[in-house]
Amino acid sequence: MTSLFDPITLRQITFRNRIWLSPMCQYSADDGMPNDWHLVHLGSRAVGGFGLVMTEATAVVPQGRISPQDTGLWNDEQAAAWRPIVEFLHAQGAAAGVQLAHAGRKASMYAPWRGEGSVPIADGGWVTQAPSAIGHGEHPAPVAMSPQEIAATVTAFAAAARRADAAGFDVIELHGAHGYLLHQFLSPVTNHRTDAYGGSFENRIRFTLEVVDAVRAAWPAAKPLVVRISATDWIEGGWTAAESADLARILRDRGVDLLDVSTGGLDPAQRITVGPGYQVPYARDVRTKAEMPTGAVGLITEPAQAQQILHEGSADVVYLARAALREPAWPLRAAHELGVAAADAPYPPQYRRGVWRG
């Protein structure tokens, strides 16, 4: 039986366990630069035993940020600021991952505790871009991207991948989920283009494949590439689970090593049935049909639940998000509850005195 604490190797990177930290926005950067908050936030999860510690959605261009306070990798100064954070994660035994992203029409938003809706240009916001000029809910409509802007964005993803390597990251995850730019191209709800990037399934996946190809070429062959997808829009006429499985097979053959399978986030019209592990069946579907590793995410909160996901073959790793915000050392509790020997649990030596007893 596969255990949460079994190592897993993708390409030439071995992860100490299968409990991975999901990307979670912190809205705490200045001009895309990570800082002490990111060091402590990410570093505490490495100390807490996670096998992979993933950054928040990190923009490849300034206009790709979800909020003005998002982190970035569009210049070398940002890469230099990420390096000491990555080195700390490595020193604690964790692998370091960066999620590269472009928010498309969902960019230029207020951080949740700073306000609601879109940030006006006068207050530091910007005009957003998307495959089509269709706004998200009541937010301002974006500008439809020209072919030249699409090509420039592909180039920006590749440049960010090279900076990620310079910063020492072990893994890149491309954010193709939750209604951000890659997802917007995939879904017929947000992609009404009539050129080579719209219409048929083959056309709607074109931008994603161009980004994957460019990043894979810029990223060392020894390091794994992950893509996060929303397996369904939860909207009639939207992106479907069947299309996700078809896309997964194509991504597998183009050098993607694992799919992080989430759902939804594209449009306020979505109708989601939420419950513990509600997205896990989609990870299992992709894993089975595409015959490639997957990560499961979504209301995974308890160690026995996470262990069962691996045992039943639904996924190869589990990603924790909100549970990890509440409990930075969740893997250490999981080790105790699952009966993992203290010597095999990911305790840093400074914390050995705190090993669970009883």
What pLDDT does residue 273 have?
Answer: 84
CA distances, 132 to each of 68, 211, 214, 236, 319 (Å): 23, 18, 23, 19, 32
Contact between 19 and 300 (Cβ < 8 Å): no
Say how far apart CA 183 and CA 208 lie, in whole Å. Answer: 8
Say how far apart CA 282 and CA 280 lie, in whole Å. Answer: 5
Q: Is 180 a catalytic residue?
A: yes
Say how far apart CA 308 and CA 147 lie, in whole Å. Answer: 46
Fold of the CATH domain 8-354? TIM Barrel (3.20.20)
Three-state DSSP at 60 gives coil
Q: What is the mean pLDDT of the chain?
A: 96
Query: Is residue 1's pLDDT more than 80?
Result: no
Domain ranges across the chain: 8-354
Q: Which residues of 194-230 are buried (b: 16+ CB within 10 A; e: fewer)?
A: eeebbeeeebbbbbbebbbebbbebbeeebbbbbbbb
Band of the pLDDT at 296, cuts 50, 70, 90? Answer: very high
Query: Is residue 358's pLDDT more than 70?
Result: no
Residue of 180, 197, 282, 319 with catalytic role = 180
pTM: 0.97
Query: Is residue 331's pLDDT more than 90?
Result: yes
pLDDT per residue over 240-277, tens digit each? 999 999 999 999 999 999 999 999 999 888 888 888 99
How many beta carbons lie within 10 A of that of residue 313, not counting itself? 11
Say how far apart CA 224 and CA 222 lie, in whole Å. Answer: 7
Q: Compute φ and ψ for 331, nearest 5 degrees.
A: -60, -30
pLDDT per residue over 178-203, tens digit each? 999 999 999 999 999 999 999 999 99
